[in-house]
């Protein structure tokens, strides 16, 4: 009679990516931003976002297979809570990035507010080009979809 030897079960060194993405999403609190949405745009994923450009970015992230969370609560050690437009995940490296879209750069008050927001990120070790991705537009320079695609390819 042939006896089968017991096989060792191989344990993965890393959590499977689908499980990792699920846990990653659970680690952020959503729907806590108290600033009301004056206008809403629905993404392909069925989420409501604040601008047409954020819709375009969300749809491009989804199409590229990049997991993201819209306006999640981000607790900063030195500066309290911020609500970045997107927190995105590079699934290959499992590194998270903050993606801020600055859509009204030609408005002085808006630009000033966002420069202060970028400074808060940097005071907390979230550096532009390393952990922070920014897209911009103004009345005279609309969102450049090719630049968004290039940033997705570069970082995510």
Give percent of the chain with pLDDT exceeding 70.
Answer: 92
pLDDT at 14: 79
Instruction: Collect the ranges in the chain with pLDDT lower than 70.
Output: 1-12
- Judged by phi (left if over 0) then psi (alpha if -120 to 50, else beta), residue 31 lies in left
pLDDT at 4: 57
Position of tokens 């009679």?
Answer: 1
Residue 102, C-beta contacts closer than 8 angstroms, at least 6 positions apart: 110, 111, 114, 134, 135, 136, 137
pLDDT tens digits, one per residue of 62-107: 999 999 999 999 999 998 999 999 999 999 999 999 999 999 988 8
Structure tokens at 87: 């927190």
What's 60's DSSP letter?
A: H
pLDDT at 27: 93
Nearest CA to 106 among 98, 114, 97, 96?
114
Strands 132-136 and 80-82: unpaired
pLDDT at 59: 98
Q: What distance in Å separates the CA atoms of residue 57 and residue 8, rounded to the nearest whole number?
A: 45
What's 139's DSSP letter?
A: S
CB of 105 within 8 A of CB of 137?
Answer: yes
pLDDT at 111: 92
CB atoms within 10 A of CB 1: 2
């Amino acid at each position: 009679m042939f006896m089968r030897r017991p096989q060792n079960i191989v344990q993965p060194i890393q959590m499977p990516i689908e499980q990792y993405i699920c846990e990653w999403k659970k680690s952020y609190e959503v729907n806590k931003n108290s600033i009301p949405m004056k206008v809403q745009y629905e993404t392909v994923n069925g989420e409501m976002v604040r601008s047409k450009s954020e819709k375009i970015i969300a749809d491009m992230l989804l199409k590229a297979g990049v997991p993201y969370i819209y306006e999640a609560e981000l607790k900063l050690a030195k500066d309290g809570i911020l609500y970045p437009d997107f927190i995105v995940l590079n699934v290959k490296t499992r590194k998270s990035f903050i993606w801020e879209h600055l859509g009204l750069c030609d408005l002085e008050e808006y630009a000033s507010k966002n420069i202060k927001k970028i400074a808060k990120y940097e005071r907390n070790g979230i550096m532009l080009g390393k952990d922070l991705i920014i897209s911009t537009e103004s009345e005279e320079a609309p969102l450049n979809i090719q630049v968004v695609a290039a940033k997705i390819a570069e970082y995510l």
